[in-house]
Chain A
Amino acid sequence: MNHNPQSSDGKHDDDSALSDFLASLMDYAPTIPDELVEHYLAKSGFQCPDVRLIRLVAVATQKFVAEVASDALQHCKARQAAVVKDKREKQQKVIYLCLLSFLISFGLSDPLLEQDKRLILTMDDLSKSLREVGIEISTLPLYISLHVLVSITK
């Protein structure tokens, strides 16, 4: 029974850390509002008088969505880096460097890097990142419509 006082101390530390965390939760306003979370809790049969647990659930969901979104962002950036690499190989490097210096003198950024501002969340990136979490999403392939086909052939 020698480990008992140590374990009780450990439990006190854990309890204090957890209570600190729960107290900090009350200061942190999760993005998902409390009323919405309470609605979903009532819908699923979760009864809890403690407000901190509602915040905990909201924070857990927010963390999950943030992880999925950041994974999708990584996929998006990786794809754009591959595209940028191809483009830079095709261009002549001399002309490109002149243009870059010209633009930088005016205070503008590299035009090829502007694609960062156009980071778009697409179904491809989302399905890849959700597959890592265990959710399989299948989308119908996009078909070119008849009108577009007709205009292309003409």
Chain B
Amino acid sequence: MRKSRSKRKSNIHLQQPTTNPRDFQFMITKVAVSQICKSVGFRRSRVSALETLTLVATKYLETLVKSAASFSNAASRTQSNILDLTNALHDMSLQVGFMGASTLYDHNNCLLKSSALESLSDFVSSTNEIPFAKPIERAKERESEEVNAVPGSFQERGGHIPEWLPRFPDVGDTNENCDKRVNGEQLWENSSLVLGCQIDGFEEKRCGSNNVGKLPKGRSRIKFRVNNGGGTRVGLNVISCNNVFGQSKDEEEAEPVAVCEKSVKSEEKQILVYKRRKKRCQFL
């Protein structure tokens, strides 16, 4: 890395073929930077120094462009213009200094009159043109191939979407399969709590057993008969309800008198009162 390399273009040869695209750009930039150094007056350079200068030039370009892009984004634009670029140029040149840097943000300061742009125009007019030495493998052919390969191209999506964004995902068919979820989950609007008849597609994770939320299809009329004897309290517990009801030993019509729904904490069984009454009669 310490050996000197001549700046003459005939002696610059790429030792190894670069397959890495990052190396390829770096090599091209190195050739351009060495051309600039030769125009300044250098005849030879150390390899490490040349690579350092190339890296610095690359980072300068990227930083300049990034700050211009962020200036335009701050103004809620996606495309940058010369004013953004001028502001970015000012930011980059503050260390070195340029004329008018102290009055940059005065109220009557015009960006287009900036001395940074003037110095750039002087540079363009004064220095000779240095065309790039080596022919670059035209990347445009590669790009055109890529463009043809991408189906979601400019014409299909419209001009408002930049081409470098990936294409939209396939929406696919609007089958019923799209509505069904992985574990059989369902929207609560479609659950049986609301509809009252659908048992399919229950979220079994939430309910402890299969019977929560199940309501009988039709609700019949409910009659309550309270007896004075027994001293039992009327509670919400199903068993006590049944006691109250069960003390009348009359044979009643086998109609579902009440179906008390339990709270979620207790065990839940669907209880048909008339069945229990038969059993209770044995204990009483």
Contacts and interface: CB of A to CB of B under 8 A. Distances in A.
B69 A47 contact: yes
Contacts of A64: 57, 60, 92
Nearest to A27: B129
Contacts of A47: 69, 78-80, 162
A118 interface: yes
A15 interface: yes
A41 B39 CA distance: 25
Nearest to A117: B43
A69 B53 CA distance: 9
Given A47-B162, A56-B82, A123-B52, A73 B120 contact: no
B125 interface: yes
B32 A32 contact: yes
B25 A119 contact: no
Contact of B49 (A15, A61, A121): A121
Interface in B29-70: 29, 32-33, 35-37, 39-46, 48-50, 52-53, 56-58, 60-62, 64-66, 68-69
A47 B37 CA distance: 30
Interface size class of B (residues with CB under 8 A): 35 or more
Q: Dominant SS at the A interface?
A: helix
Interface in A41-63: 41-50, 53, 56-57, 59-63
B36 A65 contact: yes
Nearest to B28: A36
Interface size class of A (residues with CB under 8 A): 35 or more
A69 B40 contact: yes
A57 B40 contact: no
Interface stretch (A87-95, A104-112, A133-141): A133-141
A24 B121 contact: yes
A37 B32 CA distance: 11
A18 interface: yes
Contact of B46 (A44, A65, A123): A123
Contacts of A48: 79-81
Q: Dominant SS at the B interface?
A: helix
A100 interface: no
A28 interface: yes
B56 A59 contact: no
Nearest to B128: A28
Contact of B25 (A39, A61, A72): A39
B164 interface: yes
Given A120-B44, A120-B45, A46 B82 contact: no
B154 to A, nearest CB: 13
B58 A121 contact: no
A63 B140 CA distance: 27
B113 interface: yes
B80 A40 contact: no
A117 B35 CA distance: 16
A142 to B, nearest CB: 8
Given A44-B69, A66-B36, A119-B41, 5 more contacts: A41-B65, A45-B65, A48-B80, A59-B123, A60-B89
Interface of B: 2, 4, 25, 28-29, 32-33, 35-37, 39-46, 48-50, 52-53, 56-58, 60-62, 64-66, 68-69, 78-82, 85, 89, 92, 95-96, 110, 112-113, 117, 119-121, 123-125, 127, 129-132, 136, 138-140, 162, 164
